Amino acid sequence: MSSRSLLPALAGFLVAVTVAACGGTRPEAPPEVAVAPPPARLDPVVPPVKIGLALGGGAAKGFAHIGVIKMLEANGFKPEVVAGTSAGSVVGALYASGLDPFQLQEKAVALDEASIRDVRLFSGGLVQGLKLQDYVNQSVDNKPIERMRKPFAAVATRLETGERTVFIRGNTGQAVRASSSVPGVFEPVTIGNYQYVDGGVVSPVPVDAARQLGADFVIAVDISSKASGKRPDGMLGIVNQSIAIMGQRLGEQELARADVVIRPDVLDYGSADFTRRNQAILQGEKAALAALPQIRAAVQKLQAQRLADARAAAARREAALAPAPSPQLACKDEGSRWNPLRRKDPACTASN
């Protein structure tokens, strides 16, 4: 075959190859592999809010504390730590020992005033307080403070220096007796090298002591006497109101550090009037019931804030542990000299 006859044949072959390259069938892309979605992020575990109870002093008005505890527990709020001053230390010690609110009420109804009051003629008619100490120790099965079922603190005042003293270990009855020793009515209590009197002198409602026990949320119960313009009845009433006046401003400052303050309507009750114990318990129930919406909202808000803080902390930890992004690889061109765009990565095409 001559060269002239080969040229048309070669040209036809090249045209056929070019058409095949342009219009040929594109190989099928490999099937896409299903990628499992990332696992849902679990919320961090946040412990429940630890509720503390701060029970204030007020002599016979302290029966109202029982009503408050009854209503709190009936609505799902169980205090985990308890601090008490004076009458609040009596109720607080029994509650912290493991007695439930109904057992507390049974003891209150059965309480004989003579069983906790021992007057000593040779000390000017002051109450010694030993009967109160024995009554408390008997009621808590002689457990020391550090062996209570709930952390407990009794607040007293060191007579020599005026310092607030928080008893968190030792003889329970003795600590309660010191916390309840109203000046001018009870003899001071000697413990170690110091003498102690009523905690209401320095801490009428022991909010700070409840915080010291580890409470995240403090419910304070204020039954202290106020200078209402009415004449108090009896010597105990006069002394109690005098102490309340002295510590009123100090008590207001400490109450401001509570999350919720409950004030049972017992201001008109006599400090030595044990005959109205049932009414005092009822007033405690009413006051706690009225405060429940505020308590519930405040606890939920605190729990939500703690969860938000825990989420933010977890996100920061994840960000710190995340690997650094890998450098972007160069795009691979899988085209041909005849069709540069053929089988080229779309992402590379867009970036180029």
pLDDT tens per residue across span 100-135: 999 999 999 898 887 888 876 555 558 889 999 999
Local structure of residue 214 (DSSP, 8 states): T
- Give the global pTM: 0.77
Q: Which of 180, 181, 198, 208 is catalytic?
A: 198
pLDDT tens per residue across span 16-27: 545 444 555 555
**According to the model, what pLDDT value does residue 351 have?**
47
Q: Which residues of the chain have pLDDT under 70?
A: 1-41, 120-125, 225-230, 232-237, 240-241, 243-244, 246-247, 325-352
**According to the model, what pLDDT value does residue 352 have?**
44
| Helix-then-strand count for the chain, H and E | 10, 10
**According to the model, what pLDDT value does residue 118 have?**
80
**According to the model, what pLDDT value does residue 165 have?**
97
How big is the chain, counted in residues?
352
**According to the model, what pLDDT value does residue 269 have?**
85
Residue 352 bridge partners (DSSP): none
Residue-wise DSSP of 14-34? HHHHHHHHHHSPPPPPPPPPP
- 309 as an active site residue: the answer is no
- 198 as an active site residue: the answer is yes
Cβ atoms of residues 127 and 187 within 8 Å:
yes
> What's at 45, amino acid-wise?
V
